Structure 1
Amino acid sequence: MSDTENLVPEMPAEESVSEKVPPIGRFLFGSRQRISIFRDVQKGVSYAELTDRYGDSLTSDTINSFREKSLVVKTSDNRVRLTPLGEYISANYANLIQDLRQVKQVDEFFAAIPAYASDLLNPDVIKGGETLSGNLVDKNAVVYDYVNNIRQADEIKEIVPRLIRAGLYDTEGNSIYRQRIMEDGLQCTFIHTEDVAEAIASAEQQRAEAQEHQQTQRVSYWRYSGEFPFTLTIYDDELITLLADNSDGVKVLFQNDTEASLEWANDIFETYKAKSKQFSY
């Protein structure tokens, strides 16, 4: 729960939000009602209490708009809580403009991930990060950035919830991972979900490549039976990327190299590895 000492200030009666504030700032701080409801969410007020204070219609419309902006999630016990993005904004209001510009750099990624991903993330992951995005013409544009990170790494740890094909294979069908592992000595630890493991096992060339990787003794595969919201990759314990698809199928890549983000990523990786079983293709 957020500290009540850091509640978003109420809007002064004679002031308006500057056009220089990024869109999410104009959205949140451009309405006294939204600020008031956001403050109540910070305090831990239940959804029922919100409807008592503001009425069903205003509460529903406002909370839904907060959810669309990835600021809050509604829990199974009929409460509303801030997402990591919402917590980040509320905790850093003293540096509003600077922080909202940071949010502008990352909010596209948060809009692309499912709601349950908020349970994995924390506000420290946001600070210092940035989002790269493809477009409708080239939905896989950011895969080139992802591949470039792979080219420069000596060790990679990765959780893979779905196969990435576009941009990872050359004209002969060999992946960037095969080149780096077989020719450059790259070390890798992969956690594959059931869907990924089954897809690789059923594709002759990809299965053969995975077997070839394992024979080097520098690559291990782990099988996880649950779901995971994005591809998490840790490069040399120096950089993390989170790769997801938005509702239009455009790939969105969040990246960060802060100590806090690396600590978070390694904790997540080790937690899911502990829940997985090592296996061979």
Structure 2
Amino acid sequence: MRIIFVGVGALGSYFGGALAEAGHDVTLLIRNKAHRDAIRADGLILHRDGVEARIDPVVVDTETAGDAGIADIVIVFTKTGATKAALQAATPVIGSDTRLVTVQNGLGNAEDLAAFVPMDQVIYGTTMAPGDMVAPGVVSTHGSHVTQFRAAGENPVTERVANDLAAMLSAAGIDTRVNSDVDRVIWAKVAFNCAMNSLCALLDTSPGQLLDSSETKALVKATIMECCNVAAAVGVEVDRDGVHRTLDMVHREHREHVPSMLVDFRNRQPTEIASLNGAVVALGARHGVPTPRNETLLALVRAREAQYLKA
């Protein structure tokens, strides 16, 4: 199968690089010229738990996406606010039988992809994989993590593609599972990110330092519980103990990871706050669930974002 990646930052490079290293037909659509040129010149350098690999995936400029040909699978790793624009630029690679895959942060991603293919050609889910862009052409990941997704709808071809892709990723070293109950997992990650991403960004700190403090750890847990209450109101029961176990794992294994929202702050880029705390606050208001901590974090992130985006 021809697999094309859209949104090739740290995670897109990691997933694409791992599949390419395993021998699959992978093309990376890359808008960032420095990253694109570095991979073309020196290969993609992937560090996994300290082990370095040099990989040579096919690289195509997003501006000339048609050069990549029609994809069997398009895997989207853009930031949520950029999904539609990125897929619009990538329409030359999307055919009538192409399956679109998202494991992006936040809520509403499957619906965004369904603007480009029928919903029953969408595969959606989430990943706990961390990824860091060390330099153009160089990415790293570390620790244990699981990726989970499912086919939207009941299209048997899409279900087969989901199973095949999960097997391919797992064989490439990325633990991946098809999970029919993935909405619970998505909401668990949303709850985690609403607390951890926003607080790490606002405090300019790492997950380890944030969770070392009993005061900020209590705030993290309270924010997570608000999100779980909203999830319950829309019919999704989150494994609250499971989210706390994830916190403990991150505290141990991903202490120095730089969350994506903190990267956005440092690079003065738009964040994904709208699809995280913003979506939770909106759903909470719709269903009568109080979300005061999420409202506060949303306001603070938007205020900080506005400062540097207007500068």
Shared fold (TM-score, shorter chain, > 0.5): no
Higher helix share: 2
Structure 1 or 2, whichever has the larger Rg, is 1
Q: TM-score, normalising length from structure 2?
A: 0.31
Higher relative contact order (CA 8 A, sep 6+): 1
Q: TM-score, normalising length from structure 1?
A: 0.34
